[in-house]
A and B are shown apart, each in its own frame.
Chain A
Amino acid sequence: MNKITLVICLVCCIKSFSQNNEYIEREGDITFFSYTSVENIKAKNTKTLSIFNAKTGDIAVRILMRAFVFEKSLMHEHFNESYIETDLYPEATFEGKIENYDADSAIQTKIAKGTFMLRNIKKPLEFKVNITTTDDGFTLKGALEVLIDDYEIKVPALLSPNISKKIEVAFLFKYVTYEK
């Protein structure tokens, strides 16, 4: 009887420990900017899903491409129908790890390395990330650049001067404990 109780306690402890290391952001912010001399384009997605393991530094991100909000409807239309083809590729993902992550440090700047998938094309990606421990979890903030040619995004010649080849991406994720 005591052995059974011990095993149950051990399983509960392991489960509890693993759960406490995982943090979730259901409404992460991702903003992208395209700056050209002809036109500046900005779009924001405030419903990005991300899970962060505060023990290992592992990070996973899922972005619903249709949830980007643009200033003008024509930009939104071109983004969904021509550039990203959101009917075919509704999500972008990132899976990676924060290198040399220090679980005991309250504020740190590290490099995140992983694989970014857009339009079903996977490319290695690395970027600087600021990690701050908060009262109820963690905040991850950073910026990176994405090259449209890497993901075979085809821009018609007529619109080519309007779209930058290099898209600037900024993110802000505020994680809280993930209670499954």
Chain B
Amino acid sequence: MRKKIKNNTLLIFTIGLVLLLTGSVFILTKPSYKNTYKLKTFKQLSSQNLIHEYEKEGYENFIEKALEIDGVLKKIHYKNNIYTLYLSYEANESFVLCELQHDQNPKIPNLKIGDTLIIKGILKGKLLDIVLLNCIII
């Protein structure tokens, strides 16, 4: 009887240890890549309205949120196998920069400067331009 209890304790301890190690490995090695398709859209905005809302509501409300932005495509920039789309948001020097996820590359040949696009991406902040990463074309 005592041996059975001892065996059960050992079994529970071993299972617990395996679960703990599996969990730790999962957390430590989880890639930082986010699939924007699976993220819930926080807000839909035109690129013109984005900057006004951003300044009015405060930057912390938008940071790291998935936003859907529509705007006119002004430029496509390619660097290190990554495409960045420049959407204009006002008749000024600034843009909304949307860095695309790799799986969006096949869509690039179908884009034309002047097209109106809807982009979903994660807002990282604003310097001269507003920066969104992990973008997808909707």
Contact = CB atoms under 8 A, between A and B. Distances in A.
Interface of A: 26-27, 29, 46-47, 49, 62, 64, 66-67, 69-76, 87, 90-91, 179-180
A67 B125 contact: yes
Contacts, number: 64
B124 A47 contact: yes
A174 B8 CA distance: 65
**Contact size class for B?**
20 to 34
Contacts of B29: 72
A91 B32 contact: no
B2 interface: no
Contacts of A90: 59, 63, 125
Contacts of A29: 80
A174 to B, nearest CB: 9
29 contacts: A26-B95, A26-B129, A27-B77, A29-B80, A46-B79, A47-B97, A47-B127, A47-B133, A49-B127, A49-B128, A49-B129, A62-B127, A64-B125, A67-B124, A67-B125, A67-B131, A71-B31, A72-B28, A72-B29, A72-B30, A72-B31, A72-B32, A73-B30, A73-B31, A74-B27, A74-B28, A90-B59, A90-B63, A179-B93
Contacts of B103: none
Contacts of A49: 127-129
B68 interface: no
B57 interface: no
B60 interface: yes
A62 B128 CA distance: 9
A178 to B, nearest CB: 8
10 tightest Cβ-Cβ pairs between the two chains A and B: A73-B32, A49-B127, A67-B124, A64-B125, A76-B32, A66-B124, A73-B30, A70-B32, A47-B131, A62-B127
B90 interface: no
A67 B133 contact: yes
Listed residue (A62, A66, A76) with the most chain B CB atoms within 10 angstroms of its CB: A66
A66 B30 contact: no
Contact of A75 (B32, B77, B93, B124): B32
Nearest to B30: A73
Interface string B90-116: 000101010100000000000000000
A159 B80 CA distance: 32
B127 A91 contact: yes
A66 B64 contact: yes
Contacts of B60: 87
B82 interface: yes
